[in-house]
A and B are shown apart, each in its own frame.
Chain A
Amino acid sequence: AQSVTQPDIHITVSEGASLELRCNYSYGATPYLFWYVQSPGQGLQLLLKYFSGDTLVQGIKGFEAEFKRSQSSFNLRKPSVHWSDAAEYFCAVAQYSSASKIIFGSGTRLSIRP
């Protein structure tokens, strides 16, 4: 079955500290992998996506993610978080790069400690 697992429901980090959000997936074919961010009361914004090529992907707002095929993981990282990074983060997989049939993880809520 196709699925995405985000094991951390809620993470709190201090401003300026590094961040890693975990994501594992199960998918039959080679999928597109995504990370989205959702601020309260807002829609989803794409941070980055991966399909092939270099396994370290750079995204917007200073985020990056590393694809590890052997571990079926696609973890999101940021070297130094800012208070504005507080939001909900969703890992997702899909057969296409468009908006159709995206399978989302349950999300990780990120809080920033001043």
Chain B
Amino acid sequence: KAGVTQTPRYLIKTRGQQVTLSCSPISGHRSVSWYQQTPGQGLQFLFEYFSETQRNKGNFPGRFSGRQFSNSRSEMNVSTLELGDSALYLCASSLDGENTEAFFGQGTRLTVV
């Protein structure tokens, strides 16, 4: 079956702009989580969406937001980009409930200049 698909794979934006990243989960998965990976801070949880509702949230400023559609596809948006937002953004999907596994996409590499 198809894996988690993230688009675009690479993105270059200018400081102050906004950006939207997309994640299509594995078919049947209703939970989608987003992570930011940077050399300095490592992998950090941004938020999780389940059935179109944000269920969990990490410690990121309000400039980082997301949403989930009825087909479980998710988008995350970063407004007023800062240089420090340059990172690999990873999306992961999973079934809900116990004893499930998280499947990660290949990520979107965002560079802010």
Contacts and interface: CB of A to CB of B under 8 A. Distances in A.
Pair from one complex: yes
A104 B92 CA distance: 14
Contact of A43 (B48, B96, B97, B104): B104
B86 interface: no
Interface string A84-114: 0000001000001111111111110000000
Q: Is the interface of B mostly helix, strand, loop or mixed?
A: strand
B45 A101 contact: yes
Interface in A30-47: 36, 41-46
Contacts, number: 69
Contact of A101 (B56, B93, B98, B100): B56
B90 A98 contact: no
Given A46-B101, A49-B101, A97-B101, A102 B45 contact: yes
Interface residues of A, number: 21
B102 A43 contact: no
Q: Is the interface of A mostly helix, strand, loop or mixed?
A: loop
Interface residues of B, number: 30
Given A46-B102, A105-B42, 10 more contacts: A96-B98, A97-B94, A98-B31, A99-B92, A99-B102, A99-B103, A100-B45, A101-B45, A101-B48, A102-B33
Interface of B: 4, 31-33, 35, 42-45, 48, 55-56, 58, 90, 92-107
Interface of A: 36, 41-46, 49, 90, 96-107
11 contacts: A36-B104, A41-B106, A42-B106, A42-B107, A43-B90, A43-B104, A44-B104, A45-B104, A49-B101, A97-B94, A100-B94
**A-B CB proximity, top 5 nearest:** A99-B102, A99-B92, A43-B104, A98-B94, A104-B43
